[in-house]
Chains A and B, each alone.
Chain A
Amino acid sequence: MSEAAVIGLFVATVQFATLVYLAALGELIAERAGVLNLGVEGMMAMGAVSGFMVGLETGSPWAAFVVAAAVGALVGGFHALISVVLGADQVVSGLALTIGGVGLAAYVGRNVGGRIPETKFTDMSIIGLSEIRWFGDIFFNQPPVVYLAVLLGAGSWFVLARTRLGLALRAVGESAPTTDAVGHSVVGLRVAAVMVGGGLAGAAGSFLSLYMAPGWTEGMVAGRGWIAVALVIFGAWKPGRLAAGALLFGFTLALQPRLQSFDINFLGLQVNQISPALLGMLPFLLTVAVLVVISWRYRHGPSPAPASLGIAYRREER
């Protein structure tokens, strides 16, 4: 196995991690405000298709990124309308959003499937750092969306942990009635959180269709929205731990298409003889395993989940 192949694996790890991190960060913000949004897969699909189409039309990946974020926020806003403003079941609304979003994306993109975008995000070297051996290539020679994801993660941590807005947001996720009594708008905070979350999922979608796998095909999100939902649990609702989880999952996602070219013998097993179909299961089996381990760890104590997660709030039923 050559050095270049190993570096390539880790470069892809960081990119896959960015993809799931952006979406998971959005879900984290919504869940900290007490709203479960199982529509991430649908929002990513809508972001991927709208971003791709704007990219085709304008030739600007950044315009695509912004539009995809706006579309994601809009789709998220729909979930907020149904589940926060009207107080309908968050699980049902989120599942319908995933099914409907994937369907709507297929419909919207019916005429652009198979086309190749002329422009996509290009890699950007960070001067000085990109020269460092190994690390430079892996971390500092990446598309700008990667750096943006780091900034967004740090920013989200700062807002959630260190500002009044973040305090209000966390409070509404822990106890909506108390937050209401203090004078914050429960509906306002929750709608905003869900829309920001949707925006991040949509943006992640455009990173998929304009960098990771340039183009649009039906079902291209392929379960990665769901991995993002699971990552939030893995990350214990904290942006920092979420990043660690994203790198772990990014590694398994990056491993699958590459392992075939690796001529290594692991525990007597020739790695490149493993079927790609079986390797493709890895991220999904890992998700299940990780959730089991986490539940095992918290089996005696309270879960780190926001206390009001998934519970609609209606003031007159306080």
Chain B
Amino acid sequence: MMRPVLVRRDRVLPAVQGFGFLVGIFVALVLGAILLLVSDSNPVEVYERMFDSAFRGTDSLSRTLERATPLALTGLAVAVAGSMGLWNIGAEGQMMAGATLATGVAMMTDGLSGPLLIAVMLSCGVVGGMVLMLGPALARSHLGVNEIITTLMLVYVSIRIVEWLEVGRWKDPDSLGFPRIEEVPGQASLPQLFGRANVGVLVALGLLIVFSLAVSRTAWGYELRLAGSSPNTARYAGVSLRRKVLTALLLSGGIAGLAGAVQLTGTEVRLTPGLSNGFGFSGIIVAALALMRPSGVAVVAFVFGAVQVGGQSIQTLGVSAAISTILQAMILFGALTAVVFFNYRIRWAGSGDGSDV
């Protein structure tokens, strides 16, 4: 009996890794089409609508960019932690914490001019994200507590905090009893670029460039990657692992918090428990597809922005927007599989002792 065995390829082109993403998109579109066919929808019509609503015309493009902005920031947040092998899967909660602190400061500082207020709110976003990350980061760096679970648990905590503020202290007095937080002041909205795209796009792009250079071109970034890939070597080289873990996680939380403040000042008008809207979870997929590289995050976030805008648009065809979530996960599964086959090939081996392997 012959059975398949995965054998590592002798030569792997490093550039080929990026193609995993393309293969993933292809696989997702095929599987998505099957799912749509099974549920009596026309995949061609659905995909056409998705494509048009995401790319055709400046208005569509601006919507895609609007969605890509928080995805790029949460993707970057996950990637910064991921470049040293850590997982921040709580960006969803840190967004909320950032937006909460930004809202709080906007309530307290009446009458600041627009640009100053925006700068203060965005800074508070960073701080809010870091505050929520502080516990998991310290627990990880000093006790080795698994950061995957702790960061995620705080997502639920941060949502509850906003729900509590909504019915309690921060309840809008003009809301006629409806649990709702006041709108942020008008001068706190980020200036629009074109259509629905706002300055947040530039903030995200700037940060991606900064981190792309910092991770790949500086001694700090090298130590970060070294600490992730070979902690013992890093320790012998005099790198403090504790400090590296702390900085990577806190930066990650801060970036996700910034995403929350950008979302608050750019797209939403008020803090709600749904402000994060799944961006933090999609950011995990974005970062994983970008192989934790900030430069890749920009590309993947743009595509995912399009998938999400497309997902919203097909609701008018009577198709559930959940399709876009499924497509995102399928892209990742497709890419994961593709990357395995870029590095390994199948060899048919005889059964038995395996000596031919």
A residues adjacent to B (C-beta < 8 A):
38, 78, 82, 86-89, 91-93, 95-97, 99-104, 106-107, 110, 218, 222-223, 226, 229-230, 233, 275, 277-278, 280-281, 284-285, 287-288, 291-292, 295-296, 299, 314-317
Give a binary string over B102-126; 1 marks a CB under 8 Å from any A CB, 0 the rest.
0000000000000000000000000
Question: Once the chains are docked, how many angstroms separate the CA of A104 from the CA of B156?
Answer: 21
Residue B15 is within 8 A (CB to CB) of chain A in the complex = no
B residues adjacent to A (C-beta < 8 A):
5-8, 35, 39, 87, 89, 135-136, 139, 143-146, 148-150, 152-157, 160-161, 163-164, 167-168, 281-282, 284-285, 288, 320, 322-323, 325-326, 328-330, 332-333, 336-337, 339-340, 354, 357
* Contact, CB under 8 Å: A100 / B333: yes
Question: Once the chains are docked, how many angstroms separate the CA of A299 from the CA of B8?
Answer: 37
* Contact, CB under 8 Å: A226 / B325: no
- Chain B minimum-CB-distance residue to A93: B336
Question: Once the chains are docked, how many angstroms separate the CA of A66 from the CA of B318?
Answer: 31
Question: Once the chains are docked, how many angstroms separate the CA of A95 from the CA of B90?
Answer: 12
Q: Which of B152, B163, B282 contacts A277 (CB 8 A)?
A: B163
Question: Once the chains are docked, how many angstroms separate the CA of A110 from the CA of B320?
Answer: 7
Question: What are the 9 A-B residue pairs with the smallest beta carbon separation, nearest first?
Answer: A100-B329, A103-B325, A277-B164, A107-B322, A106-B322, A277-B163, A295-B143, A284-B153, A88-B336
- Chain A minimum-CB-distance residue to B35: A107
Contacts of A103 in B (CB 8 A): 322, 325-326, 328-329
Q: With A82-B336, A86-B337, A315-B354 given, is the CB distance from A288 to B320 under 8 Å?
A: no
Q: Which of A96, A106, A218, A280 contacts B160 (CB 8 A)?
A: A280
Q: With A38-B148, A106-B322, A226-B152 given, is the CB distance from A317 to B8 under 8 Å?
A: yes
Question: Once the chains are docked, how many angstroms separate the CA of A229 from the CA of B332?
Answer: 22
* Contact, CB under 8 Å: A288 / B150: yes
Question: Once the chains are docked, how many angstroms separate the CA of A95 from the CA of B322?
Answer: 17
- Chain B minimum-CB-distance residue to A226: B152
Q: With A86-B6, A107-B320 given, is the CB distance from A93 to B333 under 8 Å?
A: yes
Contacts of B144 in A (CB 8 A): 295, 299
* Contact, CB under 8 Å: B329 / A92: no
Question: Once the chains are docked, how many angstroms separate the CA of A96 from the CA of B327?
Answer: 11
B121 CB to closest chain A CB (Å) equals: 24
Q: A107-B320, A223-B152 are in contact. List 11 more A-B contacts (CB 8 A).
A: A87-B6, A88-B337, A91-B148, A92-B336, A96-B329, A106-B325, A107-B39, A275-B164, A288-B136, A288-B150, A295-B143
* Contact, CB under 8 Å: B6 / A288: no
Q: Which of A88, A95, A226, A233 contacts B284 (CB 8 A)?
A: A95
Question: Once the chains are docked, how many angstroms separate the CA of A218 from the CA of B274?
Answer: 14
* Contact, CB under 8 Å: A82 / B333: yes
* Contact, CB under 8 Å: A292 / B6: no
* Contact, CB under 8 Å: A287 / B149: yes
Q: Which of B148, B154, B167 contacts A284 (CB 8 A)?
A: B154
Question: Once the chains are docked, how many angstroms separate the CA of A292 from the CA of B273?
Answer: 27
Q: Which of A91, A100, A230 contacts B326 (CB 8 A)?
A: A100
Q: Which of B5, B156, B285, B328 contacts A315 (CB 8 A)?
A: B5
Question: Once the chains are docked, how many angstroms separate the CA of A273 from the CA of B346?
Answer: 64
- Chain A minimum-CB-distance residue to B281: A99
Question: Once the chains are docked, how many angstroms separate the CA of A101 from the CA of B325?
Answer: 9
Question: Once the chains are docked, how many angstroms separate the CA of A89 from the CA of B7?
Answer: 17
Q: Which of B150, B155, B164, B329 has the most CB of A within 10 A?
A: B329
* Contact, CB under 8 Å: A230 / B336: no
* Contact, CB under 8 Å: A316 / B5: yes
* Contact, CB under 8 Å: B156 / A281: yes
- Chain A minimum-CB-distance residue to B278: A99
Question: Once the chains are docked, how many angstroms separate the CA of A121 from the CA of B160?
Answer: 31
A270 CB to closest chain B CB (Å) equals: 16
* Contact, CB under 8 Å: B149 / A316: no
Q: With A88-B340, A100-B333 given, is the CB distance from A226 to B320 under 8 Å?
A: no
Question: Once the chains are docked, how many angstroms separate the CA of A93 from the CA of B330?
Answer: 10
* Contact, CB under 8 Å: A316 / B357: yes
Contacts of B6 in A (CB 8 A): 86-87, 314, 316
* Contact, CB under 8 Å: B150 / A299: no
- Chain A minimum-CB-distance residue to B287: A92
- Chain B minimum-CB-distance residue to A287: B153
19 contacts between A and B (CB under 8 A): A82-B337, A86-B336, A88-B336, A91-B87, A95-B285, A103-B326, A103-B328, A106-B320, A107-B323, A222-B156, A233-B149, A278-B160, A278-B164, A280-B156, A284-B154, A291-B150, A296-B143, A299-B143, A315-B5
* Contact, CB under 8 Å: A315 / B357: yes
- Chain B minimum-CB-distance residue to A100: B329
Question: Once the chains are docked, how many angstroms separate the CA of A88 from the CA of B155?
Answer: 27
A305 CB to closest chain B CB (Å) equals: 10
Q: With A38-B148, A107-B320, A277-B164 given, is the CB distance from A288 to B332 under 8 Å?
A: no
* Contact, CB under 8 Å: B326 / A104: yes
* Contact, CB under 8 Å: A88 / B320: no
Q: Which of A92, A229, A299 contacts B149 (CB 8 A)?
A: A229
Contacts of A89 in B (CB 8 A): 336
Contacts of A280 in B (CB 8 A): 156, 160, 163
Contacts of A275 in B (CB 8 A): 164, 167-168
Contacts of A291 in B (CB 8 A): 139, 145-146, 149-150
Q: With A87-B340, A299-B144 given, is the CB distance from A284 to B168 under 8 Å?
A: no
Question: Once the chains are docked, how many angstroms separate the CA of A99 from the CA of B285?
Answer: 9
* Contact, CB under 8 Å: A92 / B325: no
Question: Once the chains are docked, how many angstroms separate the CA of A117 from the CA of B325?
Answer: 27
Q: With A86-B6, A291-B149, A296-B143 given, is the CB distance from A223 to B332 under 8 Å?
A: no
